Structure 1
Amino acid sequence: MDRIDNVNADLLDLLQTDGRMSNAKLAEHLSMSETPCWRRLKRLEESGIIEGYQANLNRRKLGLGVMAFVQLSCSEHDPDATAEFQRIIENTPSILACHNTTGADDFLLIVVARDLDDYSVFVDTTLRRLPGVTSIRSNLSLREMKSSNRLPIRPG
């Protein structure tokens, strides 16, 4: 699927607003019958544009009061160290995201923790043990001004 037409864009917008919306409701909002709506939805899923569905949870209500943006620099970039680094990152639930970045640091992580003591333990037991890490810099979020997983479907 190369192009997102207006109907698919509307469908994706609706699902980003309410991922539990039934096919009947989607079709109603799109002013189309259910079968073509269902086909469009299946094509979007099969093409990988829709990767899955999940509930958005409130981290603070789950006791995760600290969010940290962590910049890591590494000295080792050989395949074995990189594979081990990636395995640890992927298997650590408190790391929400990890990006290989340009600039002074090699990686940017988004990490959550219950509190500062919990985050301190995480740094000591996880981050400092990552293979090849030479520098760890943390920036703690003081106030979350915007948080969204919604992607812009149309330019602008």
Structure 2
Amino acid sequence: MSTISVDRHDLALLAELQRDGRATNSSLGERIHLSTSQVSRRIQRLEEAHVIDHYAAMLDPAVVGLGVLAFIHVTLDRHGTSSGASFEQAVSDLPEVLECFSVTGEADYVLRAVSHDLASFSEFMMHSLLRIPGVTNVKTNISLKKVKQVTELPLDHIAQPKQPKMRVHFAQ
């Protein structure tokens, strides 16, 4: 875990970048009241500390023909590092799987997956996911509609210090 000092300008910069990752350093500087060079230096420091993980364009799955969104709860037959690692490697090779989380509770993993339609989703389940060694139980929920989806992380828990800077721990 690394430690990085952040101040109110860093927090404002992170909030703005989450809203618009394509914003120029000049426009960011105008919004948070810093010079372009100060914005550039701060962004570089936040990237090097892995606070900023990466930049990406967010595509609308339905517009690109991926109208089925599913949440898949997977249980493995054995619990151990080798079976889990094998499953995780196999899932990482499946393009339909957008996210995979190791979880507590009734399932061992929860996946978020997309597909063109129900027939292609069935094909994915029968010929890809269920053929991964060790998978014993799968429960699937198909999304009916998106109620809320955000990409911005809340930063309110990082309180504004009375001093100019504070220490915040970010996991890497």
TM-score grouping bracket, smaller chain normalisation:
over 0.9
Within 5 Å, give how 1:44-83 maps onto structure 2: 44-83=46-85
In the TM superposition, what whole-angstrom CA distance separates every residue of 1:35-86 from its partner, at most 9, and x where no partner exists?
2111111111000010110001000000001000000111123443322211
Deviates more, 1:54-63 or 1:29-38: 29-38
CA RMSD of aligned residues (A): 1.4
Within 5 Å, give how 1:118-133 maps onto structure 2: 118-133=120-135
Structure 2 residue matching 1:2: 3-state secondary structure: strand
* Structure 1 unmatched runs, 5+: none
Question: Structure 2-normalised TM-score?
Answer: 0.86
* Separation in structure 2 between the aligned mates of residue 135 and residue 147 of structure 1, nearest angstrom: 28
Structure 2 residue matching 1:145: 3-state secondary structure: coil
Question: Structure 1-normalised TM-score?
Answer: 0.94
* Separation in structure 1 between the aligned mates of residue 32 and residue 56 of structure 2, nearest angstrom: 22
Within 5 Å, give how 1:79-118 maps onto structure 2: 79-118=81-120
* Structure 2 unmatched runs, 5+: 159-172
Higher relative contact order, chain-length normalized (CA < 8 Å, sep 6+): 2
Deviates more, 1:108-117 or 1:74-83: 74-83
Alignment partner of 1:19 out of 18, 21, 25:
21
Q: Show structure 1 runs of 4+ deviating over 6 A.
A: none
Q: Give the fraction of aligned pairs with identical amino acids, expressed as a percent.
A: 35
**One-letter amino acid of the counterpart of residue 152, structure 1:** P
Alignment partner, residue 29 of structure 1: 31
Alignment partner of 2:43 out of 41, 52, 57:
41
Alignment partner, residue 168 of structure 2: none
- The answer to whether the Cα contact below 8 Å between 1:101 and 1:108 also exists between their aligned partners in 2 is yes
- 1:32 deviates by 1.3
* Separation in structure 2 between the aligned mates of residue 74 and residue 80 of structure 1, nearest angstrom: 11
**One-letter amino acid of the counterpart of residue 141, structure 2:** N
